Amino acid sequence: MSVNEHADPNRRDFLYIATGAIGAVGAAAFLWPFIDQMNPDAATLALSEIEVDVSQVAEGQSITAKWRGKPVAVRQRTAKEIEEAKATGLSDLKDPVARNANLAGDAPATDVNRAAPGKEAWLVMVQVCTHLGCIPLGESGVYGGWFCPCHGSAYDTAGRIRSGPAPENMAIPPFEFTSDTTVRIG
């Protein structure tokens, strides 16, 4: 009779399982710092929502706020700018989708779907060119909206791409007016 014939198979199975469990716990403890470092830091989380005072923004003026490291244009458009944007048909746009985080993903890029609900004079938009991430100049270009001098993308007064290499309209972030003079972005 050999020694292997008297070995207890239940004890051997327990040792295999216990060793595997300790190895898995050890691997998880070793990997956790690497996984945890991928979470955003406190400074980023603090900027996930900002409030902007727009009481000093007159008709035809804009201000730029920084949200999540990106410039956000908050503009009070003139009646002429609103009428020009409303008169533009969807067939005239390169991108027919609103790109508004407050609406369904397939909402059409009408002026109403790009402006603030109930406050059509206000436009809150991430001011980053959708071509290569440049910062377009405001109140510029053929359409009187934004113009990216780097590659020639021209946006209208509602931030919709009209000409140039940019493929999409500038994004509308999640926002809401908490009062007549304060907009919360994020």
Average pLDDT taken over every residue of the chain? 89
What is the per-residue pLDDT across 56-100, written as a single tens digit (0 to 9) for each? 999 999 999 999 889 999 999 999 999 999 999 999 999 999 999
Residue 131 is a catalytic residue: no
Q: Are residues 90 and 176 in the same domain?
A: yes
Q: Are residues 67 and 125 in the same domain?
A: yes
Asked if the model's pLDDT at residue 14 lies above 60, the reply is yes
The set of residues, in sequence order, having a beta carbon less than 8 Å from that of 123 and lying 6+ positions away, is: 73, 74, 75, 77, 114, 115, 116, 157, 158, 159
Instruction: Out of 31, 151, 152, 178, pick the active-site residue.
Output: 151
Domain span at residue 160?
45-185
What is the per-residue pLDDT across 94-137, written as a single tens digit (0 to 9) for each? 999 999 999 998 999 999 999 988 899 999 999 999 999 889 99
The set of residues, in sequence order, having a beta carbon less than 8 Å from that of 113 and lying 6+ positions away, is: 98, 100, 103, 107
Q: Are residues 91 and 167 in the same domain?
A: yes
Give the pLDDT score at 5: 59
Confidence of residue 11 (pLDDT cuts 50, 70, 90): confident
Q: Are residues 71 and 10 in the same domain?
A: no
The set of residues, in sequence order, having a beta carbon less than 8 Å from that of 50 and lying 6+ positions away, is: 65, 66, 67, 184, 185, 186
Q: Are residues 83 and 112 in the same domain?
A: yes
Q: pTM of the predicted model, to two decimals?
A: 0.71
